[in-house]
Amino acid sequence: MNNKIQLKEAILYWLKLGFISFGGPASQISMMHEDIVEKKKWIDDKSFFHALNFTMLLPGPEAQQLATYLGWLMHGRLGGLIAGILFIVPSFFILTALTYVYINFSDNVWGEGVLYGVKAAVIAIIFSATIKIAKKVLKKIYYWLTAICALFAINIIDANFPLIIISAGLIGFIFHFKEKKLDKQNFLNFIDNKVLKKSFKTFLIALSIWVVVLTFVLLAKEDILLNLSLFFSKAALITFGGAYALLPYVFQNIIESHGWLTSQQMIDGLALGESTPGPLIMIVTYVGFIVGWSNDILAIGNPLIGALICAFVATFFTFLPSFAFIFIGAPLIELSKENKTLDIPLSFVTSAVVGLIANLGFVLAYNSLWINNNGAEYFDINLLVLIVLSLLALQKAKVGILPLLLTLGLTGMMMKLYF
């Protein structure tokens, strides 16, 4: 904890960040490093990157978890809660408002045009993210093989997402043990019993909060709420690799298993998520809102209230584990700065995630480019051109995500109006 930093000053910074954190996790992490390390000098470089390495190991949104970790370093659990909550609250309200507009106004020619153009940008963003992660991670042939196997596993044999991730991690551990001949004593020598007990108490507190809120959901006797709670709790625990790793799992289950949303609705949700501040994983708020709007939960008779309740439930159960991971793990991680045991297993997991994200991009592109119009199927060459141009803009011209979305939205609107 850094007592030299005023809590009020930190609160104002985290609130500001919540409103300006556009551009996805890489951009958000860069913002925090520039502000907190370079300009304000609240945290030193070593502590920042040690915290970042830990959050990269965790399932869930790494940028939001990093903000929570940094808040914890400066002002303890209160600081962590403030940082983590303020990072997502602005996005929650902005996204619910945009989703309301989407539901009520997307079926006119203007709305269709904007979504048409933004769809191309979103697909390009996913491929761009795949390329960026691949360049960082796939540095050896066995990482490439892991990514390719993951791609085929989920696409050809329809393997379960968690099974792919767990398998990649286990292979990574086996590889590490074989290459490094791990000394078990060295692996465990950083553990402090007092810190371990404190972390266990934190785990029990987090579990109790989860049980209490789930109990209220059960008392509501509403299957939709219960299914949302359990699905997003599971998603938050198993989706290693950040926000883009969550997307393949969410797509696979929300569209195919639960049938809550269509593929087109999920693409539109990605577009809204990319165009708002906060973590990309906030797409769960959009999903909850759509599900609540479509189902008269609690027999309220008001779709807006039901949508807001479901949006809150989806968001709460997604982010509760993120806070728990930081408050449980951060005290231990601060004692383990020199331990490198998880580096290779994490690289294998991230390699598998590259394959899964690539598959997501291909699935979205295929479903968007091949159009079925009254039984007649045709290929949308105009959309393909927009996707390619968007990808070139991201990769070669280094155009930002928000300018790209705005440009493609206007382009799509003009195409629908004049062609």
Number of domains composing the chain: 1
Q: Which long-range contacts (CB under 8 A, 24 or more apart) does 198-207 make?
A: 198/331, 199/328, 199/329, 199/331, 199/332, 202/324, 202/327, 202/328, 203/324, 203/328, 206/320, 206/321, 206/323, 206/324, 206/327, 206/328
For the chain, count helices (H), then strands (E). 17, 2
Give kind and range of the element (H or E) at residue 373.
Answer: strand 370-373
Each residue's pLDDT tens digit in the chain (419 positions)? 444 788 999 999 999 888 878 766 766 887 788 889 888 889 988 788 778 777 877 888 888 999 999 999 999 999 999 999 999 999 999 999 989 988 887 666 677 787 788 788 878 887 887 887 788 778 889 899 999 998 888 878 877 777 887 888 888 888 877 766 555 545 555 566 788 888 899 999 999 999 999 999 999 888 999 999 999 999 888 776 666 667 777 877 888 778 888 888 888 888 788 778 888 888 899 999 999 998 878 778 789 999 999 999 999 999 999 999 999 988 887 776 555 666 677 778 778 878 877 887 887 788 788 876 666 778 888 889 999 999 999 888 888 777 887 888 889 888 877 76
Q: What pLDDT score does 146 carry?
A: 92
Rounded-to-integer distance, Cα 370 and Cα 389, Å: 19
Q: Does residue 284 belong to any structural domain of this protein?
A: yes
Q: What pLDDT score does 1 carry?
A: 45
Q: Does residue 39 belong to any structural domain of this protein?
A: no
Q: Does residue 349 belong to any structural domain of this protein?
A: yes
Q: Does residue 69 belong to any structural domain of this protein?
A: no
Q: What pLDDT score does 227 carry?
A: 93
Q: Does residue 40 belong to any structural domain of this protein?
A: no
Q: Does residue 394 belong to any structural domain of this protein?
A: yes
**Domain span holding position 182:** 91-419
Rounded-to-integer distance, Cα 250 and Cα 244, Å: 10
Residue type, 136: K
